[in-house]
Structure 1
Amino acid sequence: MTKFLQFDCDLDTFIEELKKHLNKNNKKIETLLAQKEKTYANFVKPLEMMDEYLEQFFTPLSHLNAVNNSEKTQKVYTEALPLVTEYSTQLSQNIEIYNAYKEIMQKEQTSLNSEQKRVLALNILHFELSGAHLDKKTKQRLQEINLKKSELSNNFSQNLLDATNAYEYIITDESDIEGLPKSEIENAKFEDNGVIKYKLTLQMPSYIAYMTYGKNRAIREELYRAYVSRAPQNAKIIDELLALRQEMSQLLGFKNYAELSLATKMAEDTKSVLGFLENLLENSIPQAKNELQELQNIAPHKLESHDTSYYAEILKKEQYDIDEEEYRPYFEQKNVIAGMFTFLDKLFNVTCKQVKEKLWHEKAYAYDVYENDILKARIYLDLEARESKRGGAWMHNWQTHCTDEAGKKPLASAFIVCSFPPSNDTNPSLLRHDDVVTLFHETGHTLHHILSEVNENEVSGVNGVEWDAVEFPSQFLENFAYEPQVLKMFAKHYETNETISDEMIDKLVKSKNFLSAMGMLRQLEFSLFDFKLHTKVYQGDEVQNLLDTIREKTALIKPPKYNKFQNGFSHIFSGGYAAGYYSYKWAEVLSADTFYTVVDENIFNSPTAKKYQNIILHRGGSQSMQELFHELMGRDADTTQLLRLNGIVE
């Protein structure tokens, strides 16, 4: 068993070290290819581990660029990206490796285990999806496309971050700040020449707080306008990316990028995806219209897009007597983390112990993870928002559990990153319940990666899992953030240590599906827009026209003309969700079905929870999720459980 890597990234020498690393890899590839007799052990395994070590080397840079973004990290990352992209593209198009994999698959068919066969099958597919079998000119063009795509995606993300950080709105009239959470008022407050002022930003905690509680409608509209019109230069990037994706798809023999995307997913074809989304849409519209009417009934004017969060909070308090602010003292960040770890221990016999390690920021922490008292992994938590950090939340895997060439078993590690309200010397980080759900969600991803018991790193943890199934473990875990017996493990008032009352929990649970059909429509809008956008080439105004057409059915409040949501849709233009945003709902069917089975078995005594740990978490991507789910539940997933989870059906 090998030790964990120490987090270290020397920006001054990174490019030089990366070039050495890639050069060493290329020489090793030549040596491996020169072998007369190629086997899984002497050819596939070394290539697998080579890829793992490159990922381990590169991850600290990509992580730093996301959580401690600076001119220097941007410069180094921008310089490093084309080097890695070019190397990866050449590797994925190497016809000799492709032929060797096919030969080994045929020759060792009877002696390979199921994990090894899965590695070979996925690699052969990925080689074909990279054009390894195509002519030299086509492969050269695909390489150029991949380089340009990675550059454009990076620029898209950086433009969005820069635009978010560049904006601020200064309030001088204290009446305009009334109603905001005390902690947000404190965070916004600053002194300028002896005058107390308040700074609002487009960072998530600040933006959400004002849109939810800010009484001044004009300020809400100003913030909303700034948020939905960020990074207009990204429109040109979208056009370029869409054109490149379509060209790439056709070079690889697909009609469009949506079809190319589905080649590695659970969904069978484009018709299956669109039918799935349209079915959810039809089932959700009637309830969504009723929900909007309830909102409109309490507003003294016609509702606009910048009004919904504000009046939703008023209606929520009126219907459930629930005020997010009353709950936040019960969700102090450190208490939530400790309580979540207690829950994981009780559900899976997984324990987390904090370790001292010098990391990239004083607010980042490391924990060793034990399963059945055996050291299994290390996780790193960086949970608070700051200017140098990309918005949103994510899990990023670093090390993968596997068996290396020497027969040793490296331990796994991963990062959990969120954008929670920042703590300071006078104020702790008090979370909204939505933040708690987010933490559970990202921890679900993390467990999927670090608890793997697969020996081949390319199908261990989240590696090799179909993209439309990868959200299954995260969504499964997040649902427990509403369960009363789970909440009582950590929801304690940070000042009095009083456990949250049954009455407060009851209100929270009942409010869970508040405006859920409207929320469903919003997600379906994103999914339909993304998927249809990749069924042919849309350019310029066509992109907005497509979105407008979809919104005729999904947007019950028509957004203003200045809303250019697509310019900030980083999931599909700088993340991995292009023609795959539907995956959230697809996977949610699996998670809802599994979750209700565990709850019906009383959670902590659930045999299904133990089976889930052994089948889904331990086996990672070593089998198709379709096969694993069938083994877990003994049947196909029940779609109605997703509607039940959202309160749309009983």
Structure 2
Amino acid sequence: MDNPLLMEFTGIYQTAPFSKIKNEHYKPAFEKAIEMAKAEIDAIVENTEEPNFQNTIEALDFSGEKLDRISSIFFNLNSAETNDEIQKIAQEVSPMLSDFSNDIRLNKALFKKVKTVFDKQNEYFLTTEQKTLLDKKYKGFTRNGANLNEVDQQKLREIDKKLAQLSLKFGENVLAENNAYELQITDENRLKGLPDGALEAAKLLAEERKKDGWIFTLDIPSYLPFMTYAEDRSLREILAKEYGKRGFQQNNFDNQKIVLDIVNLRNERAKLLGYPTHAHFVLEERMAEKPQKVIDFLEDLLKKAKPAAVKEFEQLKELASKDQIEALQKWDSSYYSEKLKKQLFDLDEEQLKPYFKLENTIQGVFEISNRLYNLTFEEVQDIDKYHEDVKTYLVKKNGEVLSVLYADFFPRKGKRNGAWMTSYKSQWKKDGVNSRPHISIVCNFTKPTKTKPSLLTFNEVTTLFHEFGHALHGMLANTTYPSLSGTSVYWDFVELPSQVFENWCYEEDALNLFAKHYETGELIPFELIEKIKNSSNFLEGLATVRQISFGLLDMAWHAKDLSAIKDVKSYEELIFEQTKFYPDVPENCMSTAFSHIFQGGYSSGYYSYKWAEVLDADAFEAFKEKGIFDKETARKFEEFVLSQGGTDKPMTLYKKFRGKEPDAKALLKRAGLLQN
């Protein structure tokens, strides 16, 4: 059988041949690619020359290229275009990949060569990037069991295999629960308050499913407008509870045992490697360094944010009391927040949506990227896609192709909730060639209807800018080694490019480039821009406390020995006590759907969103000092941050850009939390 995954990719710029790939190709491709990668490792080990940087460290970093590409295609599609068969294959190949990783990390002969180079590094006159790679490769062994005895190495293998499968199962369960629920409403009177766009989308979904009335789901473009505008409180309660109990229903998709198994296995793994907890293990390779530093950071921020949050909550309670609501519940949060915003700023999210047609907003992102970094974006039709919704672009700088960009914007059954950036191919330099990356952004925005194009909420606009900031980090990568390229940086630094790019959403000069009424072409009125800016800190105290609560929950799961914990819900309640404003909902649980830390790569790292906000607020101050499109500031940000990937310590790179360490006051000032 000809397997397209194992052939040379001959598409434009060697892009993936999605249309030729069938599910039956994956497992044989993984098996063959692992065999090829093992042969490359054997060649390094069997090389009779004295180990040096080139024949050991460099060779190791460039090994397994075919396996990396197959893995990126398969696991990206498992998030964006999955089905039962792909999920079954994922459960089969994950242990194979875990075994392969451990075969490398626990290869004594290979580690001996790496250690020889590490011990002699002063003899090689290495560049900063080479020193960083050497350190990363050496730690990749020592932090993953190279110094363990054979019995403990076998234990490590078993743990890694189980963790890979549990993490996949966790994500599959959340997706299954998400897809399984629909709220069908046939009485139009119960839909009071909902905007026309939300009603039309719900009607269209009902028609697609050959049902009467209107259908609402747990997908964010359906769920959020309902929670924000539906006047029927009992329906908001139903939908909120359904969303909150994903993975917590004592059924085949229950994640409670999986959560406990994951945290205990992670902790067992850390102890095996000589670390007190999983968080200690993870944070050794982060800017924060230690769990206590993270906890202190979050608790200090909580002290500053909580007084504002208390005042804001009182405002919401007062507003709700006019509707005879004595106790504000979680399903009242978005509804009364939107009412309060309208009352305080005369700003309604629905007023803004006509000015944020998806296509215009994309062009705005492109134009801002052009003004800052001289990038141009050309939509092309001859790049193979994995779904008809996907758009493909060639990204150029000074006329030369810099990257391929895939953009996938709308929800569908085989796609998980949320938004993310990923890559199908890394950037690297080899044999005089700068091999360029293939980057993808995936979102779940409001779909077009029969009468309206896709009109974004302002929150969706900031989401697009956020993911595009990550994409810029990938597209502008200019490093030698693939494992240091693009977003391959410390986890608490990776959110800087994404979060700093969101700032342009609030600037008049930027909004005037793309915020045009989808029917009239009229630019967004100045008074609406002022309202956006004035409301940018709206309920910032509550929003900050909410993010802190997730960060503290993450640390609570990973910075302690939890082998005695038997009940996920009661432990979670205990952790939320200091950040809680709304009464607990007994049938809901956050942890059982907390995909960031149990499926994604954010375990012991959720704090990084707030950590990076300190960096991004300070970084944007640099742009504001000279003008938001200042070429020199943008050049420095590209040169010292975006293009450098993980070639040096994050703070070193940041200081090269900014000339100093970040000032936390910039974040507090922007968030309106600075006490005078």
TM-score range, shorter chain: over 0.9
State the alpha-carbon separation in 2 of the partners of residues 229 and 594 from structure 1: 39
The 8 Å contact of residues 533 and 543 in structure 1, kept in 2 or not, is answered as: no
Residues 1:76 and 2:89 aligned together: yes
Q: Which residue of the partner structure matches residue 317 of structure 2?
A: 296
Q: 1:6 pairs with 16, 20, 23, which one?
A: 16
1:31 is aligned to 43
TM-score by length of structure 1 reads 0.97
TM-fit CA distance, 1:175: 1.5
What does residue 268 of structure 2 align with? 247
Residue 167 of structure 2, aligned match among 138, 143, 153: 153
1:231 pairs, out of 231, 247, 252, with: 247
Indicate the residue corresponding to 2:296 in structure 1.
275
2:67 aligned with 1:67, yes or no? no
Partner of 2:231: 215
CA RMSD after TM alignment: 1.8
Distance 1:500 1:410, change over 3 A: same
Is 1:326 aligned to 2:342, yes or no?
no
Counterpart check, 1:477 vs 2:509 = no
Q: Relative to 1, partners in 2 of residues 1:223 and 1:541: Cα closer, same or farther, differing over 3 Å? A: farther
Work out the CA distance in 1 between the residues paired with 2:85 and 2:503.
40
Measured at CA, do residues 376 and 606 of structure 1 come closer, stay the same or move farther in structure 2, by a change above 3 Å? closer
1:339, distance to aligned residue in structure 2 (A): 1.2
Tell me the equivalent position of 2:401.
375
Secondary structure, in 3 states, of the residue corresponding to 2:28? helix
Note closer, same or farther for the CA distance 1:407–1:57 as it changes in structure 2 (3 Å cut): farther
Q: Which amino acid aligns with 1:263?
A: E
1:54 to 1:240, Cα distance in 2 relative to 1, 3 A: same
Q: Which runs of 5+ in 2 are unaligned?
A: 1-11, 249-253
Per the alignment, residue 142 of structure 1 pairs with: 156
| Cα deviation code 1:400-457 (max 9, x no counterpart) | 22113x3322111111000001124543111101111011111111111221111111
Distance 1:251 1:113 in 2: 34
5 Å-filtered alignment, 1:101-250, equals 101-109=114-122, 110-189=124-203, 190=206, 196-232=212-248, 233-250=254-271
SS in 1 for 2:14: coil
1:247-281 Cα offsets, whole Å, 9 max, x none, are 00100001111111111101132221111111100
**Contact 1:400/1:450, CA 8 A, preserved across alignment:** no
Q: Cα distance 1:67–1:193, how it changes in 2: closer, same or farther (>3 A)?
A: closer
Q: 1:21 maps to which residue?
A: 33
Q: Normalising to structure 2: TM-score of the pair?
A: 0.93
d(CA) in 1 for partners of 2:317 and 2:537? 18
Report the equivalent of 1:578: 603
In structure 2, C-alpha distance between the alignment counterparts of 1:419 and 1:646, rounded to whole Å:
27
- One-letter amino acid of the structure 1 residue matched with residue 28 of structure 2: E
CA distance in 2 between partners of 1:565 and 1:193 (Å): 30
Structure 1 range deviating more: 109-118 or 324-333: 109-118
Post-superposition offset of 1:56: 1.2
Corresponding residue for residue 362 of structure 1: 388
Instruction: Report the counterpart of residue 604 of structure 1 in structure 2.
Output: 629
- Deviations, residues 332-391 of structure 1 (Å, cap 9, x unaligned): 111110111001101111111111123111110111111233211111000111122110
> Is 1:455 aligned with 2:467?
no
Query: Secondary structure at the residue paired with 2:379?
Result: strand
Q: CA deviation at 1:64?
A: 1.6
Q: Which letter does structure 2 place at the counterpart of 1:204?
A: I
Distance 1:146 1:195 in 2: 45
Mapped contact 1:256–1:534 kept (Cα < 8 A): yes
Equivalent position amino acid for 2:243 in 1: Y
1:486 pairs with 2:510: yes
Match for residue 528 of structure 2 among 475, 481, 504: 504
What is the letter of the counterpart of residue 433 of structure 2?
A: K
SS of equivalent to 2:648? coil
Q: Return 605-614 or 558-567, whichever deviates more.
A: 605-614
Paired with 2:102 and 2:221, the residues of 1 have a C-alpha distance of 39
Indicate the residue corresponding to 2:5 in structure 1: none
Cα offset, 1:154, TM superposition: 0.3
Partner of 2:365: 340
State how far apart, in whole Å, the 2-side matches of 1:194 and 1:625 are: 53
Measure, in 2, the Cα distance between the counterparts of 1:43 and 1:598. 42
Give CA deviations for 1:57-88 in whole Å, capped at 9, x if unaligned: 21111122211121222122222222112111
Residue aligned with 2:429, SS: coil
In the alignment, the residues of structure 1 paired with residue 648 and residue 507 of structure 2 have an alpha-carbon distance, to the nearest angstrom, of: 31
Distance 2:545 2:120 in 1: 51
Alignment of 1:437 with 2:462, yes or no, is yes
Letter in 2 for 1:139: Q
* Partner residue, 1:402: 428
| Partner residue, 2:66 | 53
Deviation at 1:108, TM superposition (A): 5.0
Flag as ranges the 4+ runs of structure 1 deviating above 4 A.
Answer: 191-196, 539-542
SS at structure 2 position matched to 1:3: helix
Letter paired with 2:229: Y
TM-fit CA distance, 1:649: 1.9
Query: 3-state SS of the aligned residue for 1:648?
Result: coil
2: distance between equivalents of 1:278 and 1:554?
Answer: 10
The answer for the alignment partner of 2:7 in structure 1 is none
- The one-letter amino acid of 1:515's match is L
Q: Distance in 2 between matches of 1:637 and 1:572?
A: 27
CA distance in 2, matches of 1:22, 1:425: 48
CA distance in 2, matches of 1:273, 1:540: 22
Q: Give secondary structure in 2 for the equivalent of 1:368.
A: strand
Higher mean Cα deviation, 365-374 or 341-350? Answer: 365-374
Q: CA deviation at 1:635?
A: 1.8
Q: d(CA) in 1 for partners of 2:270 and 2:199?
A: 50
Query: In structure 1, the residue corresponding to 2:643 is in which secondary structure?
Result: helix
More displaced, 227-236 or 92-101? 92-101
Shift of 1:606: 5.5
Between 618-627 and 371-380, the greater mean CA deviation after superposition:
371-380
1:644 & 1:331 partners in 2: Cα distance? 28
Q: Matched residues in 1 for 2:225 and 2:266: separation? A: 37
CA contact (8 A) 2:40 2:64 kept: no
In the aligned structure 1, how far is the partner of 2:132 from the partner of 2:112?
16
8 Å contact 1:265–1:468 — kept in the other structure? yes
Whole-angstrom CA distance in 1 between matches of 2:566 and 2:232: 33
For 2:207 and 2:302, the matched residues in 1 are separated by 49
Do the aligned partners of 1:398 and 1:415 also contact (CA within 8 Å) in 2? yes
Map of 1:264 onto structure 2: 285
Separation in structure 2 between the aligned mates of residue 341 and residue 565 of structure 1, nearest angstrom: 36
1:606 and 1:517 mapped to 2: Cα distance? 34
Residue-by-residue CA offset, 1:101-156 (whole Å, 9 max, x unaligned) = 22123445333222111111011112111011111111111111011001000000
**Is the 2:171–2:599 contact (alpha carbons within 8 Å) kept by the matching residues of 1?**
yes
Residues 194 and 265 of structure 1, relative CA distance in 2, 3 Å threshold? closer
Q: CA deviation at 1:579?
A: 1.0
Aligned partner of 2:231: which letter? K
Deviation at 1:613, TM superposition (A): 1.0
Identity %: 35
SS at 1:419 equivalent: coil
SS at match of 2:443: strand
Q: Which amino acid aligns with 2:79?
A: A
Query: Does 2:549 match 1:525?
Result: yes
Match of 2:105 in 1: 92
Pairing partner for 1:446 from 456, 464, 471: 471
| Cα distance in structure 1, aligned partners of 2:536 and 2:613 | 16
Instruction: Give the aligned partner of residue 631 of structure 1.
Output: 656
- Give the paired residue count: 648
- Give the Cα separation in 1 of the matches to 2:147 and 2:649: 25
